[in-house]
Amino acid sequence: MILRELLASTPVYEIIGRRRIEIKGIALEPEEVKKEYLYIYPQDRHDIDYEQTIEEVVANGASAVVVGREHKVLDDSVTFVRTYHYQRFISAISRNFYRNPSQNMNLVGITGSHGKTTVGWMIKSILDEAGTAGLMLGSDHYQVGDHSMKAYPGGMNPLNMNRFLNKAVKERVRWGIIECGYTGIVEDQFSHVWFNSIIYTDLFTYFQNQKADYHYFEMRKTLIDHLKTTVGPVVVNVDDYYAFHLQREGSVRYGLFHPSDITARGLKLHPGSSEFLLVTPKGQRQMGLNIPGIHNVYNALAAVGWSLAEGLKLDDVVRGIESLPEIPGSKEPEEMTGSIEIKEIHRGKFRKLKDAFQELDYAENEDIVTILCTEDPEDDVRYKRLEDKNRQEKDHCILIRGYFPDLDLSVIEPAGLKSINEEAIQCQTDYYKAIQKAVASLPEGGHILLVKG
């Protein structure tokens, strides 16, 4: 490709030298440079010497070198390109060199704090089950069609991403899955990639700072701007506080608490596996997972939601997830020694929550965790009835704030805490975190009551 064409719509500050020169490849490392290559000098590395590096790549045959605005021109035998935005330049020129491959594929971007890799490989397994060739670009490994899985040469970056997208297009692979991590979004790795759909898992942050949390949320949200059409499916975990607020018309919702398009009922968690009734608009299926944890139940619901939105058959979806092979780079810790049964209780059904306890089939030595949501002042009165003199003191309750900002919780929570002070209390602002904490509190097994509105 001619350099002048290659630089179209890239953040170029200045070009010094010839523009009508042939570029046969792009390199990010000096040792990868070959004759008539474009070399991009890194902006964030201090372990290499600028002058020595430029001398090395010119000797290796580079025709052009990309540097920052502050770098000097060292050799007039090659063209120097100065950029004012290093990361966006790599994204744009990678797209140009491989001729914008994302426009020729049906791509789903998966983002969130957890579950991206698992959801991605679940979808890849579903496509395999349906006999549809797919591309998976994970954080550490990739797979094109039915080729063997491989680790990235040099890690995930826009150059590798577009290289494998281009390879998939040439092999007539039309479906692709891309794991979109927070760092990749911040570094503009996906600035010139266009998606047909987006999946949001959970948006849990570790910042414990409102400003930082909001920035984290806003950066994840930017992926929606990369949808090819305004009607592209956005699949959201509605039990996650931040993802809940990304819903829009036509969103595919999955979860256990909030009204959802895709949900699980009769859920039982076992050491190393789980089983539940999968409920979807396309029908219901009994389902079993061969990977442990409540988080993987949510991951499966996300994969189901995307697959059905894209028109795949429910039976293929279930078989694909149930036959999922070992996930590369993932080692699930074995934390449970007993089974946990999760039961849904609609709060209007019981005048007293102890009636719900009496309906459970539990042994005397089993623990119960009750998850309650305080969404309106009437809940204060309702939850004052939470007492069961026959239950053991080690059982506890998790209170969840509602997701509605106009609710004054200052009255509800103190009253709720006082009224059930015989129980062990934890407070959460997120349904997804609450159920994870409930499961973590029952390593030897027990019951979880989800009190839903």
Give the Å distances, CA to CA, from 88 to 95, 108, 219.
Answer: 11, 21, 15
- Strands, sheet with 106-111, edge to edge from the N-terminal-most edge strand: 150-151, 141-144, 134-137, 175-179, 106-111, 197-200, 234-237, 252-254
CA distance 168 to 145: 8
Mean pLDDT, residues 134-139: 91
Give strand ranges (E) for 59-196.
Answer: 64-68, 79-83, 106-111, 134-137, 141-144, 150-151, 175-179
pLDDT score of 362 = 56
> In degrees rounded to 5, what are phi and psi of residue 179?
-80, 120
Model-level pTM?
A: 0.89
pLDDT in the model for residue 384: 47
Which region holds residue 211: left if phi is over 0, alpha if psi is between -120 and 50, else beta?
alpha
Look at residue 418 and tell me whether its pLDDT is greater than 50: no
Torsion angle in degrees (nearest 10) through CA of 415, 416, 420, 426: -130
On the question of pLDDT at 248 being above 70, the answer is yes
Q: Return the H-helix or E-strand segment holding 317.
A: helix 314-322
Q: Would you place residue 146 in the very low, low, confident or very high pLDDT band (cuts 50, 70, 90)?
A: confident
**CB 120, CB 329: distance < 8 Å:** no
Length in residues, the chain: 453
Which pLDDT score, from 0 to 100, does residue 392 have? Answer: 44
Do 226 and 193 meet the contact criterion of CB atoms below 8 Å apart? yes
pLDDT of residue 355: 61
pLDDT band at 389 (very low <50, low <70, confident <90, very high): very low
At CB < 8 A and 24+ separation, what contacts does 156-159 make? 156/184, 156/189, 157/28, 157/90, 157/189, 158/90, 158/91, 158/94, 158/95, 158/189, 158/190, 158/191, 158/192, 158/193, 159/26, 159/28, 159/90, 159/94
Of residues 249 and 318, more confidence is placed in: 318
Is the pLDDT at 400 greater than 70, yes or no? yes
More confident residue, 129 or 145: 129
Say what percent of the chain tops pLDDT 90. 59
Q: Are 107 and 94 in contact (CB under 8 A)?
A: no
pLDDT of 347: 61
Which tens digit of pLDDT belongs to each residue from 65-90?
999 999 999 988 999 999 999 999 99
Contact of 107 with 195, CB cutoff 8 Å: yes
Q: What is residue 316's predicted lDDT score, i.e. its pLDDT?
A: 97
* pLDDT confidence bin for 367, thresholds 50/70/90: confident
CA-to-CA distance for 435 and 425, rounded, in angstroms? 14
Q: What is the average pLDDT across 414-432?
A: 53
**What are 122's two structure tokens?**
């679940």
Calculate ∠ Cα 330-332-337, nearest 5°.
170
Q: How many C-beta atoms lie closer than 10 Å to residue 247's C-beta? A: 15
Could you write out the three-class secondary structure of 395-426?
Answer: CEEEEEECCCCCCCHHHHHHHHHHHCCCCEEE
Distance of CA 355 to the CA centre of its chain: 39
Q: Exposed, middle or buried, 47 (CB in 10 Å: 0-12/13-18/19+)?
A: exposed
Contact (CB, 8 A) for 407 and 453: no
Q: Provide the β-strand partners of residue 274.
A: 269, 289
At residue 353, does pLDDT exceed 50?
yes
What whole-number distance in Å separates Cα of residue 289 and Cα of residue 177? Answer: 21
Compute the distance between CA of residue 278 and CA of residue 144 in angstroms, rounded to an integer.
Answer: 29
Instruction: Give the pLDDT of residue 24.
Output: 97
Range with lowest mean pLDDT among 38-47, 110-119, 194-203, 444-453: 444-453
Looking at residue 393, its pLDDT comes to 42
Domains belonging to the chain, first-starting first, are 3-97 (3.40.1390.10), 101-322 (3.40.1190.10), 340-452 (3.90.190)
Token readout for 415 is: 């009253």
Residue 415's pLDDT band, with cuts at 50, 70 and 90, is: very low
Report which of residues 453 and 377 the model is more confident about. Answer: 453
Exposed/middle/buried for 8, CB within 10 Å: 0-12, 13-18, 19+?
exposed
Burial 301-330 (b: 16+ CB within 10 A, else e): bbbbbbbbbbebebebbbbbbeebeebbee
Query: Which one has a higher pLDDT value, 390 or 235?
Result: 235
Query: Could you read off the pLDDT of 30-66 as tens digits, one per residue?
Result: 999 999 999 999 987 788 899 999 999 999 999 999 9
**What percentage of the chain carries pLDDT values higher than 70?**
81
Beta strand 283-289 with 273-280 is antiparallel
Comparison of pLDDT for 253 and 150, the residue scoring more: 253
Q: Does the pLDDT at position 286 exceed 50?
A: yes
CA dist 174 and 305 (Å) reads: 19
Q: Which residue has the higher pLDDT, 383 or 88?
A: 88
How many C-beta neighbours within 10 Å does residue 208 have?
Answer: 7
Average pLDDT, integer, range 144-154: 82
Average pLDDT over the chain, rounded to an integer? 85
What pLDDT score does 325 carry? Answer: 74
pLDDT at 359 over 50: yes
